[in-house]
Amino acid sequence: MTRIGYARTSTTDQNLAAQLAALKTAGCEVIREEQKSGASLEGRPQRTTILDFIHAGETLVVTRIDRLARSLRDLQVIVDRLKAKGAHLSATEQPVDTSTATGKAFFDMLGVFAEFETNLRRERQAEGIAAARKRGIYKGRPPKIDRAEIMRRLKQGHGPTQIACDLGISRGTVYQLRKGEPD
């Protein structure tokens, strides 16, 4: 039975070494790795490749299930895809093994708690932002678009396409600003 490892960190600042060592110890013959956020199922080509090519009887191995997804719904989508192919999920640091009844039950419980933790974190963050706004400390992130620079370039006769390319923004943004300014 082939064991395929998947290691993920949210950012490139984080180190994959501990996960890779654990997956090798767990007998993974192939290990795919990426450093992308787990907040969404989108944008993780290594995980997608595993799910596309895993075969019946094979096992996807992770160190913890939060390496695959951050929501119960996303975890269930992944496990459903594995199940449809006759494959399984196993975690080295948690008693998760979807090839057993006990492992499936534990997987479901962990998924519920992972989603609960994520929701609590979001609530705390929203409360912190609201409190900071009340005190006048929180202003939000700085604007990504330098409106004055766009207007300066338009007045110099630069075209919207060139401005958008130079500043890394959409042409629509340039057109909107141009439309809003009187001639």
pLDDT tens-digit readout, 103-151: 888 877 877 787 788 889 899 999 999 998 899 888 787 777 888 999 9
What is the per-residue pLDDT for 146? 87
Same domain, yes or no, for 77 and 154? no
Enumerate residue ranges in the chain where pLDDT < 50. 183
pLDDT of residue 182: 54
Q: Is 170 a catalytic residue?
A: no
Q: What is the pLDDT of residue 118?
A: 81
- Active-site residue, selected from the candidate residues 10, 37, 90, 99: 10
Statement to judge: residues 40 and 111 lie in one domain: yes
- Same domain for 104 and 154, yes or no, is no
pTM over 0.75: no
Is residue 60 within 8 Å of residue 82, measured between CB atoms? yes
Residues 25 and 98 in one domain: yes
pLDDT at position 181:
63
Are 110 and 33 within one domain? yes
Quick check: is 129 in a domain?
no
Q: Where are the alpha helices (DSSP H) in 16-159?
A: 17-25, 45-53, 72-84, 101-134, 147-155
Task: Give a yes or no: residue 46 inside a domain.
Answer: yes
Domain that holds residue 167: 147-180
Contacts of 101 (CB under 8 A, 6+ apart): none
Q: Is residue 126 part of a domain?
A: no
- What length is written for the chain? 183
